[in-house]
Amino acid sequence: MKMDKEAKILGSREQRNTIDDLVRRAGKDKVINEVIEGKKEELPNSDKKYKGIRLSYDHTIDFYTEGQRDSYEDACLHEKTINYHWSDSPLTHEEIIERARKFWGGKIRWLEHAIDKYLEDLFIQEKEKPVIGFYHHGMAGGLAAVAKTFEEEGIPSETGECICVYAADRLAEISSDLPKTVVIKPSYDFEGCWKGLRKIIEANPETQFYMSFTDLPISQTVGSHLNLTYFLTRNKFHSAMQKLLEKFKKEKNEQRS
């Protein structure tokens, strides 16, 4: 029997959702439904920490934390940006996604698909904890190309703002999230960057740090540490990154066999 599209569900006024609305949610919100049906603990990074959201004309959706504010502002100026929003207070994944639906759901047809894809990709990423992190101030420059190479080779990695940000206030939080290998492109102009990086490096002796394209004397930067390697030339830096890439690829193949 064919159902009337405008049929209503019996019950209280709050319960009277249309059949169309239920079908839409069943079809397009499958990831959220799985969470509601008992898998909420599997949703990664569900704590309140997201503040920015951005949509692009290439049908992608990006989320940003407070520490990624600079990247968010740079991205919003890009010609491919179609919509963006920054929240006054941190939100969970679910909350910021609902804001996206509220602001643009009725105007952008591909939004639901983009949200589903983002969440599905996020589940996959969380299963493989990053083994290397790339952090920088402002535009990534050559560091972005290096990070992309690792990503294309399937090496679990992450890219973000320089970890010196709020180091004094968030030292424990930053340290707990760091991969065992960290690549940094610091700011030469921001003195707080050097002070913050020193704290992070000293607090994480088991993490190996690499600082790229440093043309300042060690005594003027973060000092000398056993777990910190400086690169004064691009060639030496890229050579070291290539060796790291081969090392991680070998380890990944060994895990598969």
- CATH (residue range 129-256): 3.40.50.2300
pLDDT at 242: 94
Report CA dihedral (52, 57, 59, 60) to the nearest 10 degrees: -30
Distances (CA, A) of 182 to 36, 43, 51, 72, 228: 36, 26, 25, 22, 9
pLDDT grade for 182, boundaries at 50, 70 and 90: very high
pLDDT at 173: 74
Q: Which helix (H) or strand (E) holds 85?
A: strand 81-91
pLDDT at 3: 41
Distance from C-alpha of 197 to C-alpha of 128, rounded to nearest angstrom: 26
Segment 113-171, tens digit of pLDDT: 888 877 776 665 555 678 999 988 765 557 888 988 998 998 988 888 888 866 767 78
pLDDT at 210: 94
pTM: 0.52
Structure letter (DSSP) for residue 225: -
Mean pLDDT of 230-255: 89
**Is 257 or 14 the better-scoring residue by pLDDT?**
257
Beta bridge partners of 81: 56
**Is 61 or 242 the better-scoring residue by pLDDT?**
242
Q: Which two tokens stand for residue 208?
A: 């190996």
pLDDT at 181: 95
- Asked if 9 and 17 touch (Cβ cutoff 8 Å), the reply is yes
Domain extents in the chain: 26-34+44-126, 129-256
Segment 17-59, tens digit of pLDDT: 444 444 444 444 444 444 444 444 444 445 688 888 988 888 8
pLDDT at 13: 44
Task: Count Cβ neighbours within 10 Å for each residue of 134-153 and write b for 16 or more, e otherwise.
Answer: bbbbeebeebeebbeebeee
> If we measure between CA atoms, which residue out of 190, 208, 212, 188 comes closest to residue 200?
208
Number of other residues whose CB lies within 10 A of the CB of residue 183: 27
**Is 139 or 189 the better-scoring residue by pLDDT?**
189
224, amino acid identity? S
